[in-house]
Amino acid sequence: MANLIKITTDGTPLAATTLTITTSGLIPANSLAPGDIFELVTTVKKTVATSILNTYIYVNTSNSLIGATQIGVYGGIAGTPYGYIIGRNYVIKSPTSTIGFTSGNLTVIPDTVLAAAYGNFNINWAVDQYIIIAISHSSGASNNSYSTSLLVLKR
Amino acid sequence: MNYGMSDYVVRTMADGTAISTNGVETKSASYLISANSVVVGDILEMFARMNRSAGAVTFTATIYINTSDTLAGASLLATYTTDATSRSSSDLGRFFVVKSSTITQGLNNTQSTNSRYIVPTGAFTETNIDWTVDQYVIIALTNNGAGQTVLAKGMLILKY
């Protein structure tokens, strides 16, 4: 196993309600190739109980949400869960096929039983790719949500 | 050695002490993490395994950390109470992020779950653990009824 990304510093807090990058990490070109399996674990937290915190996982060739591919999501929960840990596993089947849970599958658990087929993502691992954790929440400026860690392991 | 890869901080599959008393939290096993084996910026993944060798009531597993090999003064890291008497064995997993020299962050420590991935009730627990000194991770077990024996079956802690 190798750590492709390990971030343990807090991400950028989100004060508005707009979808915003909280943290991201670079996977350099050719760090992953067909036949590889990688695991992603991220922790996110919020500070206001009534806020609904949504977390999105993206991949992009630039550190931006513009043109990014969504590869995971969790959210929709209000109340006292002030944070959660999301796990995902991805299998690189070919240069144009990386499979994992569907991009819209709402779960924190990486080893659950899906109600749908796997998501099939066309990600070119021969070039630099950024793993991006972006969040949105339902509360306004008094609320701060952010990631507290991001780990990507090559298995 | 750690070449940017996972490393074992603890890897022991030896059985712990069997606990047959009822309703008393008792240490079954403990595992030493030597000083400076963990540093700020590390992420730990812990797996604890417990088994019921006799009986048919639920049991509670609690994971503590302490600078001495005792429950007195130990800090709670995690807990899980089996949800049915049919559960004769259990794995308990957790992630911990070493955010700073005084903050090691994990799932809410009173959340009863065996899973590393769950939407908890409550905030992350931030425990002040001094990793520059020896620390003992302790599995304590409680029988929630009479006539039962439970014991720790091993511990694996990976460092990323």
Q: Are A6 and B160 a contacting pair at CB < 8 A?
A: yes
The reported pLDDT for the residue numbered A119 is 93
**In this prediction, does ipTM exceed 0.85?**
yes
Looking at the predicted structure, is the pLDDT value of residue A141 above 80?
A: no
Q: Are A110 and B5 a contacting pair at CB < 8 A?
A: no
Nearest to residue A22, comparing CAs of A11, A30, A32, A6? A11
Q: Which chain A residue has the Cα nearest residue B158?
A: A1
The reported pLDDT for the residue numbered B61 is 96
- Report residue A144's pLDDT band, with 50, 70 and 90 as the boundaries: confident
Residue B145 zone, left/alpha/beta (φ > 0; ψ -120 to 50; rest):
left
Q: Give per-residue pLDDT as tens, B116-144.
A: 998 888 899 999 999 999 999 999 999 99
Q: Which chain A residue has the Cα nearest residue B39?
A: A8
**Chain B hits for A109, Cβ within 8 Å:** 115, 117-118
Mutate to test the interface with A, among B43, B46, B91, B131 (most CBs of A within 10 A): B43
| Sole residue written with tokens 């990793």 | B131
Amino acid symbol at A74: Y
Looking at the predicted structure, is the pLDDT value of residue B1 above 60?
A: no
Mean per-residue pLDDT of chain B: 93
Burial tier of A147 (Cβ tally within 10 Å: 0-12, 13-18, 19+)? buried
**Chain B hits for A87, Cβ within 8 Å:** 116-117
Q: Are A86 and B43 a contacting pair at CB < 8 A?
A: no
Q: Give per-residue pLDDT as tens, B28-46.
A: 999 999 999 999 999 999 9
